[in-house]
Amino acid sequence: MFIFNPAHDLSLANDDPNFNPPLSARKLETDLSCLPVWFAPNGSLVWSSPENTGWLNGWKRLLPGLSCTEITSVPDFQNISAIHPWGWDKSIAKQLLVSTEAESGQRHALTHLLPSENHLAEIKRLSHRRTAAKALHYLRSESGCNEILPLPAIEIQDLAAVEHYSKTHAGVIFKAPWSGSGKGLCWVRGSLSDSHRGWCRNVLEKQGSLMAEQIYDVAQNFALLFRCENGKASFAGYSLFETEKGIYRSNSLLSDDAILARLSRFIQPQLLLAIRELLQPFIDEHIAPFYSGMLGVDMFIFNDNNTLRIHPCVEINLRMTMGAVARIFFDRFVSPGCSGRFSVDHCTERQALWQDHTLRKKNMPLIIENGKISSGYLSLSPVLPDTHYRVRVELASYI
């Protein structure tokens, strides 16, 4: 059974099984609860409202890759072999337990499917941003490329260190150890203001430390995807994505070879492949023994005095990512020779997405050939008049 719980990063930061996410996160979860349909193996269950069953049945008639996938809001844990949330944390574990309070048999079956308290603690520990800094230390020492790889972020425990770091760097970014996409970031491009100090003080009090690194002139964001299973990591593809002020916006829907070709415009492909080969043993040793599931290592190409360089370990996400969804969606459902864009939309006005959805369906009709999508627009979740979040896909054939 697959579950979309996008408040996972916020839950890790809060570390309370009774954590109540903000309204925006709860609405995101409701609107996109069907998203796992597109990355769960055919034959899986997706935890969502039964009201979405008709929407799924419509797609099952068009795409054979969804033929045996089902939606459920009342799972029978005695017939479920594994549970795959967007990310494991205390909050989702508690939600699942609460769902079985009236059924002792269901609760007993569920208990064997949940990670232990120690396992949850390991996931939280490894999700700290210091893991990415540790990985970059490893890459610098093992690759022999210290002169071309940037310095790792440093961990800071007090305001005096915040003041010192901001004075010794022209532009800095302070990061909360655990935070959601685009959240937990403090950009300081000039002198440290009272607002900056207040933000840093608050993070230090709540999370015990923060990470600091210089601001880079980013030319291209991308990620390497890995799958951890049975204590080992395997490479799962590339993700080419765009952000705005650290907030995820979209992914390019391209083959792995096409993404590698695009990245080769910036850097030598041999360097990227060497980094990929070095990351795998690091993940095998430090992460895979404690974590199972998809893992994304965010990277970027940056401009350093008119020289393009690579930052090979900006973040490590121990959870499903939108980039991984885009990768799996492309590989499973897109016709060869096609490309497109995978975007997350948010509209605050009621009916705005509904109206946009209706217009795009008319202007970009979907074309499916041999069970694969070759062009057009689709939403990866139901769009209704009260929908505020959508994952949008637009595809076309290569010219």
| Predicted local confidence at residue 368, as pLDDT | 97
- Report the alpha-carbon angle 240-137-273, nearest 5: 40
| Predicted local confidence at residue 124, as pLDDT | 97
The string of pLDDT tens digits covering residues 279-305 is: 999 999 999 999 999 999 999 999 999
Q: For residues 371 and 390, what is the distance between their CA atoms, to the nearest angstrom? A: 23
The string of pLDDT tens digits covering residues 302-312 is: 999 999 999 99
Task: Determine the average pLDDT of the residues in 330-346.
Answer: 96
User: Does 53 have pLDDT greater than 60?
Assistant: yes
The dihedral of CA 197, 202, 208, 213: what is its sign?
negative
User: Does 182 have pLDDT greater than 60?
Assistant: yes
Domain ranges in the chain? 2-123, 154-214, 216-324, 334-397
| Predicted local confidence at residue 100, as pLDDT | 87
Task: Determine the average pLDDT of the residues in 301-326.
Answer: 96
CATH architecture for the domain at 216-324: 2-Layer Sandwich (3.30)
- Asked if 154-214 and 216-324 have one fold, the answer is no
| Predicted local confidence at residue 144, as pLDDT | 77
Pairing of strands 2-3, 84-85: parallel
Cβ neighbours for 297, distance < 8 A, ≥ 6 positions apart:
132, 135, 223, 224, 225, 226, 279, 312, 313, 315, 316, 317
| Predicted local confidence at residue 398, as pLDDT | 64
pLDDT band at 181 (very low <50, low <70, confident <90, very high): low
Say how many CA atoms lie within 13 Å of 53 toward its Cβ: 8
CATH architecture for the domain at 154-214: 2-Layer Sandwich (3.30)
Q: For residues 237 and 229, what is the distance between their CA atoms, to the nearest angstrom? A: 16
The string of pLDDT tens digits covering residues 201-247 is: 999 999 999 999 999 999 999 999 999 999 999 999 999 999 987 88
The two tokens of residue 209 are: 């430390």
Q: SS3 for 172?
A: strand
| Predicted local confidence at residue 148, as pLDDT | 83
Q: What is the mean pLDDT of the chain?
A: 95
Paired with 310 in beta bridges are 301
Q: Which of 320, 333, 329, 327 is nearest to 258 (CA)?
A: 327
Residue 47 φ/ψ region, left for φ over 0, alpha for ψ in the -120 to 50 degree band, beta for the rest: beta
User: Does 328 have pLDDT greater than 50?
Assistant: yes
| Predicted local confidence at residue 145, as pLDDT | 76
